[in-house]
Amino acid sequence: MAGLVGNPVLGNDDLKGEVVVAINEGRKFEGTRSGTEEGREKDMAPAAGSPIHRSGSRPQLDVSGAAIQGNSEERDPTILLPNQSDDISHLALDIGGSLIKLVYFSRHEGKPIEDKRKLSLKQRFGITNGNRRSYPILGGRLHFVKFETSKVNECLDFIKSKQLHCGGMNPRRWPSHSLPNENVVVKATGGGAYKFADLFKERLGVSLDKEDEMDCLVAGANFLLKAIRHEAFTHMEGQKEFVQIDQNDLFPYLLVNIGSGVSMIKVDGDGKFQRVSGTNVGGGTYWGLGKLLTKCNSFDELLELSQRGDNRTIDMLVGDIYGGMDYSKIGLSASTIASSFGKTISEDKEVEDYKPEDISLSLLRMISYNIGQISYLNALRFGLKRIFFGGFFIRGHAYTMDTISFAVHFWSKGNAKAMFLRHEGFLGALGAFMSYEKHGLDDLMVHQLVERFPMGAPYVGGKIHGPPLGDLNEKISWMEKFVQKGTEITAPVPMTPPGTTGLGGFEVPLSRGDTLRPDASNLNVGVLHLVPTLDVFPLLADPKIYEPNTIDLSDHGELEYWFSVLSEHLPDLVDKAVASEGGTDDAKRRGDAFARAFSAHLARLMEEPAAYGKLGLANLLELREECLREFQFTDAYRSIKQRENEASLAVLADLLMELDSMPEEARLCSLIEGVLAANIFDWGSRACVDLYHKGTIIEIYRMSRKKMQRPWRVDDFDMFKERMLGSDGRKPPPYRRALLFVDNSGADIVLGMLPLARELLRRGTEVVLVANSLPALNDVTAMEVPDIVAEAAKNCDILRRAAEAGGLLVDAMINIQDGSKLDSPSVPALMVVENGCGSPCIDLRQVSSELAAAAKDADLIILEGMGRAIHTNFNARFKCDALKLAMVKNQRLAENLLKGNIYDCVCRFEPSSI
């Protein structure tokens, strides 16, 4: 017998490794809007001389040509609606005075695979979709795009090119020969919905269904604030900080939308709001006046100029009036602007004599301060503490946000807080989109939305900025162009260093770069994936305080370190990815494009870590996997995983025999040691990749085992042992169900986690192996686990019977054709569930519904590996016992987190926290 556990004598080194009334209310919203029925009726009275058509927010059905199908004598006959499109349109517009904002939906391609493993799980855990309304929106993505209103034709071309005017079909699958549906109705808000209605009908054949602009702004803001995790943030003195909004404590708030003009809306609830004020001095004023005074050709150019400006040459400061002194009695510093543009009166100069940079900055400050001040006064009027600013005037521009924040802070003496929204300009468009009630967007919860930042789109040249390019080749050729333009793209976003005087003055922004990011790339808005099957892991002790990331990358040193780790790993990853696709020229081109795309993401985040929301290491590791998938590398480590599985399965029988010969206590210890030792097979760690080039799988495994002397760096084994085996002759009841979050393929799962699962099974505990839904590095996936188990079961009765009981062997073993053996009372089942993610880390706020269902009866969680147990969840607390097992394969992490060294191990046992 091969001495796998303790004895390095093994000579086998070459092991292989949805009848029927269309609602036209003809009403106009004026002033106060109340959510009560009474209020609603009042509101519904059409205002004199207002021919505005406003649809109801119920599904619109086209009943023209409706006919009864079949026998009209029968009860409830089927009614055919020949002109009703299969689905309500998936596009909504907000056509403003300056910009057109477009939100559109694309369905996920392909249907989820319902394999036998999933079917048997559904049966076992009673997972149904019954409690969810099945809306067409489910399982799709929301994209955010904007165009200049003056270039409405670009917008029409874009809609046409993506066939977004073709009803509810998936644009990609719309047959090229088919014509756009003549009856398509598109929700639209903003003045342009009236102004351009004929143009849309003419060019695209679509009718614009007008939605009230204020209704939409509020609906959009409420949705974002409730459903998107890192939507709102404060911005003070250059520091961006995300604010966690408590959904139950959101109202009331003041919404200030700074578009061409400014609207101030007191929001008291969903559909409950009042437009309390506004100002005509807004974004249009800045851009319009700026254009006249500086001869700038674009808004961005004007904003960019401001970064290099000094407003003191234009503005009259308190110091200018008071001979350089503060007017401290009323709290004004010498640098406080006493009168915007005031200095120009006394000077005998023409506009050309002033620097455009200075003019732009004076204008920006004048308008931002003014809006900040009026906002504060309205907040004060209604006793509101929170002010959310939206609209594209803000444009994610640090100095604009700082100026508004400063004004609110200064005038409210710190009592009111200015907050900004990442989707700032899309509130109206999103609200219009939400008025398609059939989409069911308002039913989605924060955990069912996943935001992703695909490459390609944000940086597409020209003026159309949008979602990912449809075609991979388009994207790659763009990536190639990117090489020449790369430096522009990664140019720093200007940040304002701390510079307030404290007395109401505000220094000139220090310029840190002279180009603004290309428009859309500065939006900090990704594509929203709607995934209704995600759930919050039910065993989290307190989801509200749960923070998946152990390492917070807001520390710059930490950020730099992890960026270098990921950059250095890139060439090896690209090699594996290209090889996994056969090393073809196409694969090489994609590999190259992937490397550029990921490097560009890293460069972007290095300059602005909060660009995509709050950043932690887990987000970075996931971004890498997403980026690989974007360039169609579906499983870069496919062959490595196979080889390692085969090699490990070949020695499993020997290992099990050896374990079976041990007394209980030693066996349990050896099992945990086995998990820790086998966790060395990690292709995500630089140090480990170096090791693999030096030895065979089994050599490395043996070496790793030999180093497993206790005490481990974190060693709660004795506590775990006591819970498992008892003490003083007292035998504790076995766990009912254990969830084992497995990590890597090969030795990790085969020689580490499976033997541990087997031990639990033989003690009467049901075991659920929780694996990734999508590949990430060499992590084993839920699709792959059943075959591994089937292979392992060939030599092990415990595993075989448990796998049969768990319905796992239906594919692998022909003698079991149905689930008849499910729930066999004496045999605890071995099951496999997918975790809902495709990353080496796991955010337990967003897991698959099958994992959430399996978790309900679990009383033990075992998290394995660095990604799942260290980078994420190291500090997570659960409602049941939890065992965290990992080998730390990174020196810095071992030092910082554990005051230890690389290859140190963690065996952390935490009894249920409630």
Residues that bind ligand PAZ (CB under 6 A): 565, 569, 621, 679, 682, 684-687, 743-744, 777, 840, 865-868, 871, 889-890
Q: 235-254 burial by CB neighbour count: b if 16+ within 10 A, else e?
A: bbbbbbebbebeeeebbbbb
Cβ atoms of residues 162 and 171 within 8 Å: yes
Q: Are 199 and 413 contacting, i.e. CB atoms less than 8 angstroms apart?
A: no
840 binds Mn ion (CB under 5 A): yes
- Which of 611, 790 has the CB closer to ligand ADP? 611
> Could you give the string, one character per residue 111-150, with x where binding to ligand ADP holds by CB under 6 A and - elsewhere?
-------------------------------------x--
* 185-189/140-148 β-pairing: unpaired
C-alpha torsion sign, points 522, 523, 524, 529: negative
CB 99 within 8 A of CB 78: no
Could you tell me if 881 and 912 are in contact, meaning their C-beta atoms sit under 8 angstroms apart? yes
The C-alpha atoms of residue 767 and residue 744 are separated, in whole angstroms, by 18
Closer residue to ligand ADP in complex, CB, 514/665: 514
Instruction: Note whether 622 binds Mn ion by CB under 5 A.
Output: no
> What letter would DSSP give residue 520?
G
Closest separation in Å from C-beta 213 to ligand ADP: 8
Single out the residue of 258, 289, 558 nearest to residue 397, CA to CA.
258
- Record the tokens describing residue 67, joined without a space: 């006919």
DSSP helix/strand/coil, 233: strand
Q: Residue 395 binds which one of Mn ion, ligand ADP, ligand PAZ, none, with CB within 5 to 8 A depending on kind?
A: ligand ADP
* Minimal distance, residue 679 CB to Mn ion, in Å: 8
**Any contact of residue 425 with ligand ADP (CB under 6 A)?**
yes
Minimum distance between the CB of residue 594 and ligand ADP, rounded to whole angstroms? 30
CB 94, min distance to ligand ADP, A:
6
Q: How far is the CB of 284 from ligand ADP (least distance, A)?
A: 4
Question: Measuring CA to CA, which residue among 790, 877, 778 is closest to residue 832?
Answer: 790
Interface region with ligand ADP, contact rule CB under 6 A, candidates 283-291, 333-341, 479-487, 523-531: 283-291
Identify which of 416, 448, 392, 417 has the alpha carbon closest to the alpha carbon of residue 217. Answer: 392
Which residues 67-96 are close enough to bind ligand ADP by CB under 6 A? 96
Dig out the tokens for 386 from the structure.
């929170």
Give min distance, CB of 636 to ligand PAZ, in A. 13
Q: Does 743 bind Mn ion (CB under 5 A)?
A: yes
**Is 613 in contact with 229 (CB distance < 8 Å)?**
yes
**CB 230 → ligand ADP: shortest distance, Å?**
21
Please name every residue paired with 885 in a beta bridge, in sequence order, or none if there are none.
Answer: 864, 907
Which residues, 6+ apart, have CB-to-CB distance to 142 below 8 Å? 103, 104, 105, 433, 527, 528, 530
Q: Does 97 bind ligand ADP (CB under 6 A)?
A: yes
Give 148 or 722: the residue with its C-beta nearer to ligand ADP: 148
Q: Is 518 in the site for ligand ADP (CB under 6 A)?
A: no
Name the residue whose CB lies closest to ligand PAZ: 684
Residue from 744, 835, 848, 890 that binds Mn ion (CB under 5 A)?
Answer: 744
Which CB atom, from 290 or from 505, has the smaller least distance to ligand ADP? Answer: 290
DSSP 290-337: HHHHH--SSHHHHHHHHHT--GGGTSEEHHHHTTT--BGGGTB-TTSE
Q: Is 881 in the site for Mn ion (CB under 5 A)?
A: no
Which of 104, 158, 393, 410 lies at the binding interface for ligand ADP (CB under 6 A)? 393
**Which of Mn ion, ligand PAZ, ligand ADP, none has residue 259 at its interface (CB below 5 to 8 Å by kind)?**
ligand ADP
**For the chain, how many helices (H) and strands (E)?**
28, 27
Asked if residue 519 binds ligand ADP (CB under 6 A), the reply is yes
761 in Cβ contact with 680 (< 8 Å): no
Which backbone phi and psi does 176 adopt, to 5 degrees?
-60, -25
Q: Work out what residue 519 binds among ligand ADP, Mn ion, ligand PAZ, none; the CB cut-off runs from 5 to 8 Å by kind.
A: ligand ADP
Residue 20 CB, nearest distance to ligand ADP (Å)?
Answer: 35
Q: Which is nearer to ligand ADP, 193 or 724 (CB)?
A: 193
Binding site for ligand ADP (CB under 6 A): 96-99, 148, 190, 259-260, 283-284, 286-287, 299-300, 391-393, 395, 425, 519
